[in-house]
Amino acid sequence: MRPLLCLVWLSTVSCGSGTTSSAPTTASPLGLPSPETFAREHDRFESYWYQGVAELTRYRLEQSRYGEVHEGEAVLIFVTEDFLPGPQIKHEIGERPADALSVLKLNAHRQFFTGIYPYTTLTSTFSPADGAATLKVSASVIEWCGVAYAQLNRREGALQAELHSYFQAEGDESRSLDDVELEDGLFARLRRDPNAIAVGPTRLVPAMHYLRFAHRELAPYDAELSFEDTDASRTLVVRYPSLGRELRVRVARAFPHVIEGWEERDLNGPTTRATRTHAILTDYWAHHGVGDGAYRDALGLGTR
């Protein structure tokens, strides 16, 4: 990035946490398994995540934006796939190369309205299934003013960053960041093994949607990681003293460590909360027909 230009990428949001435990409130009308029922037969990481299906979890979203809380919904889509470490893309064609990696991919999707117009955010993270540091994150924020997009690739001992934005103060930027962990990658690491996350002071690149909403520079920030425990769950707490931001992600202690919800707290506005309502496992990519609306119902999409 050029010296006087900030790679500022995410626009004004208060993030919230404070997650209350919430198991899915309705059984799937299609008889699709929930994470808990699926795990009864597939009770290890390798068994659970390599059955040719994705885990889809829908959350009731209370999104902070413009100093108010807006109702919406969020969906976390976890699935494993082969990943080519050089170009950092999915392997799809030909024989699987010897250096291909298995990654746990997370597509984190949010939708909410601010008055008349909608917001849609999508963040994709690609984290090695063995629990190593996240290799890639790409994120977009789409609303009626325009589109902003950012991507980070972990290469050659650094994070290579790209930003594309319709805002004049941001525009198109590229730069190299220190080789630190990514907040967006913590969700996959929690699914792998919450106990493997080291507590204490660290440096993180905050969540991509937060940086865009808060108009903060895309850069590493000092952070503090800790856990708050109950008999049934663990809550990962991530605090950024200089940002006034706190993320709280609550996961079940029992495998497969489902994410029950999260909060994003911000000193500059209300708290964002996401509370789990529905969860299913299915090969969703095979259900794209006009007659597949029952799968939306099974996931509770569009409900308030």
Rounded CA-CA distance 283/70 in Å is 31
Q: What is the pLDDT of residue 20?
A: 40
Q: How far apart are CA 164 and CA 199, in angstroms?
A: 33
CA distance linking residue 281 with residue 53, whole number of Å: 6
Which neighbouring-strand residues pair with 62? 71, 273
List of residues 6+ apart from 36 with CB closer than 8 A? 23, 258
Tens place of pLDDT for every residue, the chain, 304 residues? 333 333 334 333 333 333 344 455 445 668 899 999 999 999 999 999 999 999 999 999 999 999 999 999 999 999 999 999 999 999 999 999 999 999 999 999 999 999 999 999 999 999 999 999 999 999 999 999 999 999 999 999 999 999 999 888 788 999 999 999 999 999 999 999 999 999 999 999 999 999 999 999 999 999 999 999 999 999 999 999 999 999 999 999 999 999 999 999 999 899 999 999 999 999 999 999 999 999 999 999 987 6
pTM value? 0.90
